[in-house]
Structure 1
Amino acid sequence: MAGQRAVARRAPGKLFVAGEYAVVEPGNQAILVAVDRYITVTASEPEASDAEADADVVVDSDLGARPVRLRRRGGRLAGGDGRMPHVVSAVETVAELLDERGLPVPPLKVSISSTLHEHGRKYGLGSSGAVTVATVDAVTSYCGLRLTTEERFRLALLATARIEPKGSGGDLAASTWGGWIAYRAPDRAQVLDLARARGVAEALRAPWPGFSVRRLPAPAGLSFQVGWTKSPASTEALVSDLHRRRTWRGSASHQKFIATTADFVQAAVTALEDGDGPALLHEIRRARQELARLDDEVGLGIFTPELTALCDAAEAVGGAAKPSGAGGGDCGIALLDERAAHDISQVRQRWAAAGVLPLPLRPALEGNEA
């Protein structure tokens, strides 16, 4: 059980490589990569001043002006004014598991530090997913729970689905396993129903139809480049907007998008596994084209001028590029010939001229995996 020793855990951010939007539907595959920017969460005993304030859980973040002090009310944490919802949901979900196992839920202080932001502005590297994964790991470890990597992922997905039911969980998988991964999402509604009906512990054990995750090798002969548009975007808002387009959902265009995405994602997985760089570049260009077709047809605003310039600059030197994730801002990715230093430099210069900041990111080979 919890003692006096603080427990710190970190989780990396992520970028989507291919398959965004389609992956929110259960069983559809996406490729993601974890990147070497991290959120660190430390679970410890609250300070005396927090106990005097009648706080059961205190959340202190370097992104917040003041701590969030929470009290347990009927299995939920109250008093946070809606701040730090992913952390709150993660702590609540872990507490449910402790209750089911007959273990006490200790008072907690949860301290958060992040390198996924720039002066308080997010890069779009999956900070919500990373903080959820790191919180689950830190709190379960502090409370003496020994969980497998997949069990910790499942707890994080349950916590996230309770507040963002349309999220695929791909960010959680990348933050958990690290490196390059192929991911398929389970049916989140079904998973939540399972947890409500049979408990969190059973939801960690039961089959999750549609879910899978496996590691992939890094691209052969290609340099992975990332550009930040300096404009934040809301993945949840963009995905929800697409789901509200009822005339599009179920249409021939929707079916074509899902089928085409499934085809180029699987081809990209094969290219990665075969070490075929040119084939991977071809599939990333197809991914850009299909996202552009979706954007033209539905008008989500996936492609901003900065993201279009980012892609054009990479393709001008024979590379491939696309928005990462929902688009509308945040980051784009590019794959360029790693031997062509001049071309890489030229692309970075064109990005800077277009208002895109090159980020010095590398794949995080380790995730949150124990």
Structure 2
Amino acid sequence: MFNIYNQKGNDRLITVKAPGKLYIAGEYAVVETGYPSIIVALNQFVTVEISQSKSYGSIVSKQYRDDSVLWRRQGDQMILDNRDNTFNYIISAIRLTEEYAQALGRPMELYDLRVNSDLDSPNGKKYGLGSSAAVTVATVKGLCQFYKLPLTKSQLFKLSAIAHLDVQGNGSLGDIAASVYGGWIAYWSFDRDWLLAARTQQSLTELVNQPWPSLKITQLTQPDNLRLIIGWTGTPASTSHLVDKVAIQKSRQHQIYAEFLRDSKNCLEDLIQGFKDGSLERIKAGIKRNREILQQLADFTKVAIETPTLKKMCDIAVENTAAAKSSGAGGGDCGIVVIDKQVNVDSMIERWKENGITRLALNVHPVIDLNKE
């Protein structure tokens, strides 16, 4: 799983996986410092393999064979031989992890890095499972093993979060947390303005070894009678673009946006308590309320969070005694359904099919133990 390390003569082969994720609740509000969300890690993965090389290193993706990247060393610097590539998150993760490795006195080496993902559909469409976050986490984790760097979950999150933020520029980084910690998590986002300033004044080792303002990650326990079902609309969506649209509108309507943040925070605190109490009914009520709050956000920002297909998916689920809502930024991708395990969902799934909605055969990935996996 996450930590497989093989020694074959002088050749080292590192194989790591990072799970994808889905947001359960708290979307959009979580991009603001200190606001809570609930996210779940899923049993679909990005796999990264790293092995030593001699003259040239390579970065190869099974999904993008035509866009493989060759690179070489110039001193300790990584020099790319082609600048236009689809591997921005991988490159950012490599640069940051190697900066960290050098700070800990590790000499730089050449290696081949191979990436394979099952977070997208067979025809290449994105499910919205956080592939960019998973590949960032897997790359950082694999390189830390390759360079034999000690690593805690907190350090892995912080290195991956910085690398991801360098590319995407926005977002809460909750998807990074899900790929690092596994299972169900409650996630409160850190102060990104603080991080931006701190990076100009502190070393990378100092940054990853100190508390980050407002950051909080807590594992949650799924109630025994809770079943999570995921529906896919077949329409990919861009999280960063949707977040940007909301950001533009919030600057024009401060009071309404402040009310949205307050409502989302209250809803999520109640939802998190529902997990602590093991109360499926309280969780379902929280999911229903969060859907309403996101619909209000969509109304005043004019951002299509819940598309007609997502609405149909949720409405059908609600008719079958479930609680349902869009997942993540919306605009397409996936919706989540929370329902009692005793309820037969065959008719719900059949109606989904009739409306062009696919049930994804995904399960929750367990809490990750870095000492065992």
Q: What's the TM-score, normalizing by structure 1?
A: 0.93
**1:246, CA displacement in angstroms?**
5.0
Distance 1:4 1:246 in 2: 53
Matched, 1:4 2:11: yes
Distance 2:140 2:251 in 1: 39
Distance 2:368 2:238 in 1: 24
Cα separation, partners in 2 of 1:36 and 1:298, compared to 1, 3 Å: same
1:9-24 map, 5 Å: 9-24=16-31
Q: Which amino acid aligns with 1:216?
A: L
Distance 2:85 2:247 in 1: 24
Q: Structure 1: state its 5+ residue gaps.
A: none
Residue 98 of structure 1 corresponds to 101
Q: Which amino acid aligns with 2:354?
A: A
| Worse overlay, 344-353 or 6-15 | 344-353
Q: Structure 2: state its 5+ residue gaps.
A: 1-6
1:260-275 map, 5 Å: 260-275=263-278
Give the 3-state SS of the residue equivalent to 2:17 in structure 1: strand
Residue 338 of structure 2 corresponds to 335
Residue 44 of structure 1 corresponds to 51
- Write the deviation string for residues 154-181 of structure 1: whole angstroms up to 9, x where unpaired: 1000101111221211001111110000
Cα separation, partners in 2 of 1:65 and 1:299, compared to 1, 3 Å: same
Distance 2:155 2:308 in 1: 41
**1:279, CA displacement in angstroms?**
1.1
Residue 213 of structure 1 corresponds to 217
Q: What's the TM-score, normalizing by structure 2?
A: 0.92
- 2:240 is aligned, of 236, 243, 246, to 236
Aligned residue-pair number? 359
Give the 3-state SS of the residue equivalent to 2:12 in structure 1: coil
Distance 1:260 1:286 in 2: 9
Q: Which amino acid aligns with 1:182?
A: A
Distance 2:279 2:137 in 1: 32
Percent identical residues: 34
Give the 3-state SS of the residue equivalent to 1:5 in structure 2: strand
Distance 2:369 2:140 in 1: 10
Q: Retained in 2: the 8 A contact 1:68–1:83?
A: no
1:282-301 map, 5 Å: 282-301=285-304
Q: Retained in 2: the 8 A contact 1:134–1:368?
A: no
Residue 149 of structure 2 corresponds to 145
Distance 2:213 2:168 in 1: 19
- Write the deviation string for residues 225-249 of structure 1: whole angstroms up to 9, x where unpaired: 0001111101011011111225445
Residue 346 of structure 1 corresponds to 347
Q: Retained in 2: the 8 A contact 1:161–1:192?
A: no
1:310-329 map, 5 Å: 310-329=313-332
Q: Retained in 2: the 8 A contact 1:179–1:215?
A: yes
- Write the deviation string for residues 302-329 of structure 1: whole angstroms up to 9, x where unpaired: 1111100111011112211001000001
Distance 1:271 1:72 in 2: 52
Matched, 1:127 2:127: no
**1:101, CA displacement in angstroms?**
2.0
Distance 1:24 1:369 in 2: 27
Matched, 1:65 2:65: yes
Q: CA RMSD in A?
A: 1.7
- Write the deviation string for residues 20-41 of structure 1: whole angstroms up to 9, x where unpaired: 1011111111000001111111
| Worse overlay, 212-221 or 322-331 | 212-221
Distance 2:13 2:26 in 1: 38
Distance 2:172 2:73 in 1: 29
Distance 1:20 1:240 in 2: 13
**1:76, CA displacement in angstroms?**
5.9
Q: Which amino acid aligns with 1:346?
A: S
Distance 2:368 2:259 in 1: 34
Q: Retained in 2: the 8 A contact 1:117–1:123?
A: yes
Q: Retained in 2: the 8 A contact 1:12–1:38?
A: yes
Distance 2:286 2:240 in 1: 26
